[in-house]
Amino acid sequence: MLLERKDVNPNQPDTKYGLTPLSWAAKGGHEGVVKMLLERKDVNPNQTITEYGRTPLLWAAEGGHEGIVKMFLERKDVNPNQTITGYGQTPLSWAAENGHKGVVKMLLQREDVNPDQPDTKYGRTPLLWAVKRGHTGVLRMLLERKDVNPNQTFTGYGQTPLSWAAENGHKGVVKMLLQREDVNPDQPDTLCDRTPLAWAAGEGHERVVKMLLERKDVNPDRPDSKHGRTPLWWAAGNGHEGVVKMLLGREDVNPNQADTKYGQTPLSWAANCGHQAIVKMLTEQKGDRTATPDNVNPTPQSVTLSERHDGFATTTLDRGNVNHAVADCTSPTSLSPSAMHPDESPVEAQFNSHDPNTDIIESSGQPAPPSPTPGERPKLPDHGGPVSKPADTDRSTQSRWWSRPLSTWPPKLRYRRTKTKTHPSNT
């Protein structure tokens, strides 16, 4: 009825979004309405909205409305490669991102559709969009094309489809890509120089890690060139016990490899983040360096004791091959920070260890408490009354920064306590 009136404009856009009646109908999947509008000569099938520049075909492709997409593609005045303003995604790119296999199939049958055209904002091809969302059906169709590059990276991060799939834990996508001979399973990205294995390990995707470790052309201990961090380092710091266990089961993985920026080993990083189960796994490895300090932090014992990770203190102190008296880069000894706290449980843990070092001399000049006799429960030393101390050595008013919790250390010496994130999310 409305279209029969001469005073009704069939191309009139709304004032809020700039969508025409045809765009609204295509977006909503209303085939009958689209058909009526396309039968009119005064309806523009390519009219874009004012804000994003989307055509009716782009709306239909994004929504997966196959019947409407087919009607548009049958018209000679409709551009199947029309992109949206700002992002530059084509109808194929929109359909691939949203997993609409029927729409993707129709678009790929056209000779005038570029199956590997990247968008202008992120440089992502339809294949990369399908990988991001884990759409294996769409990915299979795209990989069957000879004019689609399975190693195409996107702007900014330089991650390949395999790297992105590994980071997001898409097992099916990873499996399909690894079956191709032209896919490099160990190709690092250009921003962080992390391999697909490093991304999967850092995110805790055990099945993806397992698939990659089964490949002979994947280096399980490759450090990135930016900070020298290995897959084990990432898994240990983020608390992924299953991945750590798999990596430690390999003879070609060095559990003591420190990063090049801060000198932190997987053990010191796990201790810093309070991952007790991983600390236990790492300290059970032969040749671990439990008492070795990194470039700016105390030893793992010092960090965990000052941060009140008493479970880890017990784990490391019970080991016979740990030198509790090794002074780190900032503290007199690895256990000194624990004595600076009013809570005595870490100090008692030192006395309960197999071979506590009783010859430790701290910076105040006071000897460490004596060893207990066999069978006797150790006690803190009794000085027989109050002991006067100079004001500058009174631990109750201690101003040395290493005596305080890690969160209060100077900024250059402080580490984040939360899960490491190096890769920002994309929309």
Asked if the domains 150-254 and 260-364 are classified in one and the same CATH topology, the answer is yes
Average pLDDT over residues 293-297: 51
Distance of alpha carbon 397 from alpha carbon 395, whole angstroms: 5
Mean pLDDT of 353-377: 43
Farthest CA pair distance, the chain:
106
Superfamily of domain 150-254: Ankyrin repeat-containing domain (1.25.40.20)
Share of the chain above pLDDT 70, in %: 63
Q: pLDDT per residue over 398-414, tens digit each?
A: 444 444 555 444 444 33
Return phi, psi of residue 210, to 5°. Answer: -60, -45
Domain spans in the chain, listed from the N-terminal domain onward = 1-147, 150-254, 260-364
Say which CATH topology domain 1-147 has.
Answer: 1.25.40
Continuous H helices in 257-335: 266-273, 276-283, 300-306, 310-317
Q: Structure pTM?
A: 0.68
CATH topology of domain 260-364: 1.25.40
Reported as a pLDDT band with limits 50, 70 and 90, residue 202 is: very high
Helices (H) and strands (E) in the chain, counts: 20, 0
Helices in 9-157 by DSSP H: which ranges?
21-28, 31-38, 56-63, 66-73, 91-97, 101-108, 126-133, 136-143
